[in-house]
Chains A and B, each alone.
Chain A
Amino acid sequence: EAGVAQSPRYKIIEKRQSVAFWCNPISGHATLYWYQQILGQGPKLLIQFQNNGVVDDSQLPKDRFSAERLKGVDSTLKIQPAKLEDSAVYLCASSLVSRGRPVGHSPLHFGNGTRLTVT
């Protein structure tokens, strides 16, 4: 199966500029996640969608970050305006919903991320 696709692979912008990242999850995966990974740290969850609804955006800096998944498939994450501390790798992941399975955790499938450098 095709994996999670992300673009662009790299992006360099100046502070106060805007940037957008795109993610195409694995076909049929209802749940989509955006993570921010700062160098040397584990991925930090920014937002989680199930189909086109937001499940968790508690750690999304909503004054500058926004994300959408209009048709329940592709997703876009936007930063406007960017700050120096936004320099990180932005990872998208998707997973199946375990319908009919009483407990458990569907493994996440990650893309290779977008490396953002804010100067």
Chain B
Amino acid sequence: LAKTTQPISMDSYEGQEVNITCSHNNIATNDYITWYQQFPSQGPRFIIQGYKTKVTNEVASLFIPADRKSSTLSLPRFSLSDTAVYYCLVGDGGVRTGGFKTIFGAGTRLFVKA
């Protein structure tokens, strides 16, 4: 399984774009990159998933360079309601293992800058 590394915490002013970068140097050919968001007292919530280049939805954008060894989650306009922990995961959906293995790291705590 590809290991991921992301900052422990980040802060930003409201209204600014926030970018969280995740490193996954040993990502495999079949691996997808998935980001989850977790608010206090709730389970993680799927935000976005991608394989290469750029993916955008109503919540965020995901940028993946050609070598796929990192990815960047971008929140266009950070607001207080975006204060949460963000997890980057890498996995192949179990094509090789016969099942889906989903391993979470410690995540990035994103909060408002005073």
Contacts and interface: CB of A to CB of B under 8 A. Distances in A.
A42 B105 contact: yes
A56 to B, nearest CB: 6
User: Contact residue range for chain B?
Assistant: 20 to 34
A37 B110 CA distance: 18
Contacts of B104: 35, 42-45
What is the predominant secondary structure among interface residues of chain B facing chain A? loop
B100 A106 contact: yes
Interface of A: 4, 31, 33, 35, 41-45, 48, 50, 55-56, 91, 93, 95, 97-98, 101-113
A31 B103 CA distance: 15
B105 A112 contact: no
Contacts of B92: 103-105
Nearest to B107: A42
B44 A48 contact: no
A98 B44 contact: no
B95 A48 contact: no
B102 A33 contact: yes
Nearest to B30: A103
A110 B47 CA distance: 13
B92 to A, nearest CB: 6
